[in-house]
Structures are given as structure tokens and as C-alpha cells.
């Protein structure tokens, strides 16, 4: 593992995400609340990590997707081998897997950035014989939405996306297939925000790899056949914006839950979705594509 | 922890005259999306106020207690000059099958005069919100809703015993000391009596209260960047979060260094900023003159600089001094305050009281001289 030639000089008290200098003893950055362990681990690796951000609206499944993905990597799925750097990197996958094992969805990610999970993994793509260090935060959909709506509301989102080497944009395929416009509009807002954050000229297209992932694809299995055609038909605004402004986009479909039951509380007249079992499908492919592009 | 006892409804709607902007921040499903956001707001809310509110509002798991009846309170100044107070509670189950309870915050936005009508006390504002919302927090998404009537205001002091132990006094003084200096703090209120947090807030000079943010009953979150957080649950977890940051941890068992020691040196000059004021705070609390201290702090609507508060504290002491002064001291003190220009309402009231006391003392001395 050679130190990266392009690695800037990292300092243990300077946040990797926002560049703020923190007291030596700080556990989290005082401004963006990223764990300071990330930069300390990066220094130990002598290699600056790549940040891959998972974005999408609230309840689209970012936490579940990221947790399951990390667990697959940790179990050497596909061509990958992955080593978590620090126990904090394992918290997310543990939370997701243990909840799913108990037939529950994991708790909502709070908007407070100090409560977000962060994962720092050293990943080997065996086919490419290439190691990549990845930092993947699990951001709250509401914080993303608030920042997209009013930039500077959550500056950590701006810093993260600005530093991201690749992004996974998660869209709710089930809603889109039912004709809801919300996933299309949110995706469009998110891409437009990314466009403004990365700020290339109007005659240029953004090269940062973006994987558009159709989540909850078990609700509309047809999107597995041709995700791009599905996006073009059902998330047309997103598709058009991708074509106009982003040079490096690929489309994928993914599903975690195999079958869903509904528990009905007669007293409160509330139905609760219960993930009866998991049937992972299309989780690794978007990530593999992103790693290939880095 | 249920703090409902401290949030007493304060007014009937019929007597209302304070019209304020308001907003509801919670998680509901609507055609515009789902998740935590401002779901309803009155028309006067400005974009920067929306941003600040969204940034500081508690979201999933934001209340310190899992109790369906748990209550919390958050208050913070806004860049527009208004002060925002939010009443936080649970409003049924989280609707996305993700477990836990939905956190609901009803925010009101008060201008300086409106906040002053509630003695700059978020507890009293929350009482007015409770009186309007009742047990059913509003969950209906609305693009624009009408303003809210909060009644006529209220300056009722917290209902606590005026006799306090030295531990309680040390805790209160530590909070005041940190708040005056502008240091962010987390105060452990576990085991303290009902109303002690409100009391701690009310013994901070009013003009400072307008500038400080606060919370009670909420999970401590550094990202909310609040100045004064009262917690009474998850103590160890919170203490670990605060450790090694610039936020102070104030525990009844361990008051801030220097607190208490200053009181022992009453009458002696101290170079520490706010030392005179803190001595006044401690001696007034020690002697059980709680109502007097609260009234004094409520009246400090201007100059709260170290010099300004030292002047107010000296003026307060001189009222006692002048009431037993001999002729020479009476002349000296009367001259001192002859052309005194008050910089806040408290000083104005104290000078008036000083002059009355001095006049009374002069009369007494003259009578004594005649008798001799």
C-alpha cells in the first residue's frame, strides 16, 4: 500500500471534512461534527481517504442501504475485501443488521449531525487489485432536504458533498412507479444542489461519478431489467438533468427487503411495516461502479 | 422527565393581545414529502428565521425521555432580533415504521417587547403555548396559518422555596457566572427540585436572557449550539459528550472554580469580571431574598457589562449602607449618586430607592441631633 502521491498534509487536529482546527482532545469536530478519528486514522494510513456520500430524501432507505452495503463488504461479497478503521465504523452496519434480524427497520437518523454514523473502511477491489480508503457518512434525509432548500442551513452537507469523490443518489422506485412526483422533484433538487456545490462552468458537465440507485425495487421488479429506462420514464426530470449536467452517471436498481408484512394496531389504528426477511439484490453494483470510477 | 408542572397555562385566549408568528416543526407525510421539517408557519416568518429554526429544532429522539407525555423546551435568539421559543413534546408514533415517537415542536417568534412581556422567560411563553394547544399538538400541514395570540404576557416568578442549601446556591451561581461570560454550559439538574432550572434562568439579568439560547428536557446535541442546556437524564452519557469541549459541565457537587469563594470575600475588591455581581447573587440567594433578586434581574434591561453590573451591585449594597450611615457617609453616598445617570431600569429603580432611603436616613439623623 503506497502512500498517495497527491496526499495533502493532514494534521490530527484539523477536520478532514471542513478543515476546522479543533482542540487535541476533541472527539468530534466542533463545526461539522465529523469524528476526529477519521483524520487520525487517515494519518495512520498515510493515505487521504475518498469520501463517498449517500444522498436521498427522508425515508428512502439510505441507512438501510449503507448498513447492508458495509456488511456485505465486511463479508467479502463480490470482488471486495474490506477492513473497518475503528469501532465507530462498525456501528452503522451493526445497527442495521441487528434491527433487520429482529424484523424491524433501523431507527430514523436524527437531523443533529453529531448523531450521524460515520464509516471509514479500507476496501480492496480484488479484480482491480486496488485499495481505496472510503469515508461514508450516513446523513439524515431531512438535513439534506433543508440544506438543498436553503443552502448554509447545514454546512456539513455542503462540505461533505464538496469533498465527495463519488455519490450515490437514492430514489424511491416504489413511489416513482406509483406515479408520485416527489422522488423526481427531490432528485432534481439534489442534483441541482450538487451542480451548484461542484460549480463547473455552464458549458461543462460534472465529472464526479454519480450512481442513481432505485431503492425499494422489490415493489416494482421491472426496474431491475433496465434501470435507466425506468428513470427516463418515471423520473424524467432527474434523467434530463443528469443528461444535461453530469458526464459520469449510471443507473441501478436495489432492494434489501424480500417481503414486507404490516402489523396493525387496532387501538391506535396504525399500520407498521415489518421487514419479514431480507433478499439483497443490486446492493453492491452501484458501489462497485463508483469504486471503478475513482 | 415530566416537567409539565412548571409549564402552567398562563392566560385565557379572551384577554389576548400578543400576536406572534409561529411554526410547527415535526415529521408528517404530505404531498411535499416526509420527515422532519416546518410543516406549518404563519406568513411573517422570514427565510433566515426558518433556517435557524430548522437548524436548532429537535428531531427524532430529541426529547430526553421516551415517556409519551415528556415535555421539553428550546429557546434561542434569531438573527432578525426576535426570540424563538419552542415547546417540544411527543405526538404519537413515528409514522415511517422506524420505531420511536414523533417529536413535535410548536415554535413562537417574539419581538423584544413581546418577549419582555413574558419576563424573557421561555417557561412562561411555553405555558401560553400549552394554554392554546392543549393536549393535541397541531399536526396539519399548512403553507400559511394565522398568527397566534399568546395572551397579555406574564412575569410570574418560579414557584420554588426561597430557602436554599449552599449546594443549590453554588449551582445557580455557577450557571449565572458562565451565562454572564457567554460560556456554553450543560447543567446537571438531576435530583434538583421542580422549577430550579427556571429559577436559574430568571437569576440571569434579563438583557442577557434575550441573547442566550437554552433547552430543557432535550437530548444534548452539540450541533444545536445552545448556550445553556439543562439535563436531568442520561447524565453520564451527556457528561462524556461535553468532556474535552469548550462547553462547561455544571454539577451541583462541583460548582465552577472560584464560585462561592467570591462570596466569602464580600466587601473586598476582586479583579474577576462580574465578581461584584456574583457576590450580590450569592448573598441574596443565601439570605432567601429570591423574589428581590428575580425582580432586580428582570429589571436589568440595559448595560450588563461587567462595569454596568458592578455599578448595579454597588448601588444595591449602598441602599443597605445608607440606611445605617452616619452623617459623613450619608453625605458621601448622597453626593455620589447626586448626578447619577442610570443605564438600565434596575439602576433607575435602585437610585429612586436609594434617594428615598437616604432622605429617610437624613431625617432620622436630624431627629437624633435635635434630641441630643
Give yes or no for a contact between A62 and A53, defined as CB atoms under 8 angstroms apart: no
User: d(Cα A261, Cα A259) in Å, to the nearest integer?
Assistant: 7
Q: Determine contact: B54 vs chain A, CB below 8 A.
A: yes
Asked if the model's pLDDT at residue A245 lies above 70, the reply is: yes
The per-residue pLDDT for range B161-174, each reduced to its tens digit, is 878 888 888 999 99
pTM: 0.88
Determine the pLDDT at residue B261.
53
Question: Residue A166 CA to chain centroid, in angstroms?
Answer: 9
User: d(Cα A221, Cα A173) in Å, to the nearest integer?
Assistant: 10
Residue pointed to by grid coordinates 476546522 = A20
Determine the pLDDT at residue B270.
58
Which has more confidence, A42 or B23?
A: B23
CA distance B187 to chain A (A): 19
Residue in B31, B98, B222 nearest the CB of A108: B98
The arithmetic mean of pLDDT across residues A233-241, rounded, is: 94
Determine the pLDDT at residue A7.
56
For residue B293, give the nearest of B270, B265, B268, B312 by alpha carbon: B312
CB burial readout B334-367, b (16+ within 10 A) else e: beebeeeebbbebbbebbeebbebbeebbeeeee
Asked if the model's pLDDT at residue B1 lies above 50, the reply is: no
The per-residue pLDDT for range B224-280, each reduced to its tens digit, is 999 999 999 889 989 988 887 889 999 888 777 766 654 444 445 456 789 999 999
CA distance A105 to chain B (A): 5
The per-residue pLDDT for range A179-219, each reduced to its tens digit, is 999 999 999 999 999 999 987 777 788 999 999 999 999 99
* Chain B residue with minimum CA distance to A153: B51
For residue A54, give the nearest of A105, A92, A26 by alpha carbon: A92
Asked if the model's pLDDT at residue B196 lies above 70, the reply is: yes
Residue in A33, A108, A182 nearest the CB of B96: A108
For the record, the C-alpha cell of B40 comes out as 406549518
In chain B, what residues touch A27 (CB-CB under 8 Å)?
244
In chain B, what residues touch A104 (CB-CB under 8 Å)?
99
Q: Determine contact: B221 vs chain A, CB below 8 A.
A: yes
The per-residue pLDDT for range A49-98, each reduced to its tens digit, is 888 999 999 999 999 999 999 999 999 888 898 999 888 899 999 999 99
Residue pointed to by grid coordinates 399568546 = B150
Q: Do A142 and B37 touch (CB under 8 A)?
A: yes
For the record, the C-alpha cell of B130 comes out as 400549552
Give yes or no for a contact between B111 and B82, defined as CB atoms under 8 angstroms apart: yes
Residue in B31, B98, B244 nearest the CB of A105: B98
In chain A, what residues touch B98 (CB-CB under 8 Å)?
59, 105-108
Residue in B31, B59, B96 nearest the CB of A111: B59
Residue pointed to by grid coordinates 420505531 = B99
User: d(Cα A127, Cα A100) in Å, to the nearest integer?
Assistant: 31
Residue B308, SS3 per DSSP: helix
Determine the pLDDT at residue B260.
62
For the record, the C-alpha cell of B343 comes out as 443605564
Asked if the model's pLDDT at residue A255 lies above 80, the reply is: yes
Virtual torsion, Cα B232, B237, B240, B246, nearest 10 deg: -50
User: d(Cα A28, Cα A35) in Å, to the nearest integer?
Assistant: 4
Q: Do B51 and A33 touch (CB under 8 A)?
A: no
CA distance A111 to chain B (A): 6
Question: Residue A135 CA to chain centroid, in angstroms?
Answer: 10
Q: What is the mean pLDDT of chain B?
A: 87
Residue B352, SS3 per DSSP: helix
In chain B, what residues touch A150 (CB-CB under 8 Å)?
47, 50-51, 54
Give yes or no for a contact between A40 and A119, defined as CB atoms under 8 angstroms apart: no
CA distance B92 to chain A (A): 9
Name the percent of chain B lying above pLDDT 90: 62
Determine the pLDDT at residue B219.
94
Residue A31, phi then psi, degrees to nearest 5: -110, -50
User: d(Cα B255, Cα A246) in Å, to the nearest integer?
Assistant: 57
Count CA within 13 A, CB hemisphere, residue A188.
16
Which has more confidence, A5 or A270?
A: A270
Which has more confidence, A156 or B85?
A: B85
Residue A26, SS3 per DSSP: coil
Q: Determine contact: A261 vs chain B, CB below 8 A.
A: no
Asked if the model's pLDDT at residue B190 lies above 90, the reply is: no
Q: Determine contact: B222 vs chain A, CB below 8 A.
A: yes
The arithmetic mean of pLDDT across residues B131-141, rounded, is: 84
Instruction: Sort A180 into a burial class: Cβ within 10 Å, 0-12 / 13-18 / 19+.
Output: middle
User: d(Cα B136, Cα B10) in Å, to the nearest integer?
Assistant: 18
For residue B95, give the nearest of A186, A273, A65, A172 by alpha carbon: A273
Segment 218-247 of chain A within 8 Å of chain B by CB:
none
Strand order in the sheet with A80-84: A80-84, A117-125, A130-138, A50-56, A164-172, A210-215, A249-253
The arithmetic mean of pLDDT across residues A242-247, rounded, is: 92
User: d(Cα B244, Cα B93) in Å, to the nearest integer?
Assistant: 36
Residue in A33, A110, A153 nearest the CB of B222: A33
User: d(Cα A93, Cα A95) in Å, to the nearest integer?
Assistant: 5
Residue in B27, B57, B99 nearest the CB of A107: B99
Domains of chain A, each with CATH number or no CATH: 1-48 (no CATH), 49-289 (3.40.50.300)
Q: Which of A82-86, A89-93, B2-6, B44-48 has the lowest mean pLDDT?
A: B2-6
Q: Determine contact: B34 vs chain A, CB below 8 A.
A: yes
Give yes or no for a contact between B142 and B232, defined as CB atoms under 8 angstroms apart: no
Residue pointed to by grid coordinates 440567594 = B285
Determine the pLDDT at residue B115.
95
Residue to substitute from B32, B38, B60, interface A, most A β-carbons within 10 A: B60
Quote the DSSP letter at residue B33.
B
- For chains A and B, count residue pairs whose Cβ atoms are closer than 8 Å: 107
The arithmetic mean of pLDDT across residues A162-182, rounded, is: 93
Asked if the model's pLDDT at residue B3 lies above 80, the reply is: no
Q: What is the mean pLDDT of chain A?
A: 89
Amino acid at each position: 500500500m503506497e502512500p498517495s502521491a497527491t496526499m495533502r498534509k493532514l494534521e490530527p487536529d484539523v477536520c478532514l471534512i471542513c478543515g476546522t482546527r479543533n482542540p487535541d482532545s476533541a472527539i468530534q469536530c466542533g463545526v461539522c461534527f465529523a469524528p476526529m478519528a477519521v483524520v487520525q486514522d487517515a494519518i495512520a494510513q498515510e493515505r487521504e481517504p475518498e469520501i463517498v456520500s449517500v444522498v436521498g430524501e427522508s425515508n428512502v432507505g439510505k441507512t438501510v442501504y449503507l448498513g447492508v452495503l458495509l456488511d456485505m463488504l465486511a463479508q467479502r461479497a463480490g470482488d471486495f475485501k474490506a477492513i473497518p478503521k475503528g469501532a465507530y465504523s462498525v456501528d452503522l452496519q451493526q445497527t442495521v443488521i441487528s434491527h433487520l434480524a429482529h424484523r424491524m427497520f433501523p431507527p430514523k437518523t436524527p437531523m443533529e449531525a453529531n448523531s450521524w454514523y460515520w464509516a471509514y473502511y479500507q476496501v480492496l477491489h480484488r479484480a482491480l487489485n486496488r485499495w481505496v480508503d472510503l469515508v461514508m457518512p450516513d446523513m439524515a434525509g431531512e438535513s439534506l432536504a433543508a440544506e438543498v432548500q436553503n443552502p448554509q442551513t447545514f454546512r456539513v452537507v455542503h462540505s461533505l458533498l464538496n469533498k465527495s469523490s463519488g455519490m450515490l443518489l437514492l430514489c424511491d422506485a416504489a413511489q416513482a412507479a406509483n406515479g408520485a412526483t416527489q422522488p423526481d422533484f427531490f432528485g432534481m433538487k439534489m442534483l441541482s444542489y450538487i451542480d451548484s456545490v461542484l460549480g463547473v462552468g455552464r458549458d461543462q458537465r460534472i465529472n464526479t461519478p454519480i450512481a442513481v440507485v432505485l431503492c425499494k425495487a422489490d415493489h416494482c421488479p421491472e426496474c431491475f431489467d433496465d434501470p435507466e429506462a425506468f428513470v427516463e420514464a418515471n423520473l424524467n426530470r432527474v434523467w434530463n438533468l443528469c443528461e444535461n449536467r453530469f458526464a459520469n452517471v449510471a443507473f441501478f436498481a436495489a432492494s434489501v427487503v424480500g417481503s414486507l408484512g404490516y402489523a396493525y394496531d387496532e387501538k391506535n389504528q396504525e399500520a407498521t411495516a415489518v421487514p419479514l426477511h431480507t433478499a439483497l439484490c443490486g446492493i453492491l453494483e452501484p458501489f462497485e461502479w463508483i469504486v471503478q470510477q475513482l | 422527565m415530566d416537567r409539565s408542572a412548571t409549564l402552567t397555562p398562563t392566560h385565557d385566549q379572551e384577554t389576548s393581545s400578543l400576536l406572534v408568528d409561529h411554526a410547527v416543526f415535526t415529521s408528517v407525510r404530505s404531498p411535499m414529502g416526509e420527515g422532519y421539517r416546518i410543516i406549518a408557519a404563519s406568513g411573517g416568518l422570514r427565510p433566515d428565521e426558518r433556517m435557524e429554526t430548522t437548524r436548532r429544532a429537535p428531531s427524532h429522539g430529541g426529547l430526553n425521555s421516551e415517556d409519551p407525555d415528556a415535555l421539553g423546551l428550546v429557546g434561542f435568539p434569531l438573527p432578525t432580533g426576535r426570540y424563538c421559543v419552542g415547546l417540544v413534546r411527543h405526538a404519537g408514533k413515528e409514522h415511517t415504521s422506524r420505531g420511536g415517537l414523533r417529536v413535535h415542536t410548536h415554535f413562537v417568534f417574539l419581538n423584544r417587547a413581546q418577549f419582555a412581556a413574558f419576563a424573557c422567560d421561555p417557561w412562561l411563553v411555553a405555558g401560553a403555548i400549552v394554554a392554546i394547544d392543549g393536549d393535541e399538538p397541531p399536526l396539519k400541514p399548512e403553507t400559511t396559518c394565522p398568527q397566534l395570540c399568546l395572551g397579555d404576557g406574564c412575569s410570574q416568578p418560579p414557584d420554588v422555596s426561597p430557602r436554599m442549601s449552599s449546594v443549590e446556591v453554588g449551582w445557580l451561581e455557577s450557571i449565572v457566572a458562565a451565562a454572564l461570560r457567554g460560556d456554553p454550559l450543560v447543567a446537571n439538574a438531576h435530583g434538583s427540585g421542580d422549577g430550579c432550572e427556571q429559577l436559574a434562568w430568571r437569576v440571569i439579568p434579563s438583557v442577557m436572557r434575550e441573547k442566550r439560547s437554552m433547552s430543557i428536557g432535550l437530548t444534548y446535541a452539540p450541533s444545536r449550539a445552545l448556550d445553556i442546556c439543562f439535563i436531568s437524564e442520561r447524565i453520564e452519557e451527556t457528561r462524556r459528550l461535553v468532556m474535552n469541549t469548550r462547553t462547561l459541565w455544571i454539577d451541583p457537587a462541583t460548582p465552577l472554580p472560584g464560585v462561592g469563594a467570591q462570596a466569602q470575600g464580600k466587601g473586598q475588591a476582586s479583579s474577576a469580571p462580574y465578581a461584584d455581581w456574583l457576590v450580590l447573587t450569592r448573598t441574596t440567594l443565601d439570605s432567601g431574598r429570591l423574589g428581590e433578586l428575580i425582580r432586580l434581574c428582570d429589571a436589568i434591561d440595559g448595560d450588563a457589562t461587567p462595569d454596568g453590573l458592578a455599578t448595579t451591585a454597588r448601588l444595591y449594597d449602598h441602599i443597605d449602607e445608607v440606611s445605617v450611615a452616619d452623617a459623613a457617609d450619608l453625605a458621601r453616598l448622597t453626593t455620589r449618586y447626586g448626578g447619577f445617570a442610570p443605564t438600565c431600569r434596575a439602576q433607575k429603580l435602585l437610585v429612586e430607592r436609594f434617594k428615598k432611603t437616604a432622605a429617610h436616613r437624613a431625617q432620622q439623623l436630624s431627629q437624633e441631633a435635635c434630641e441630643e
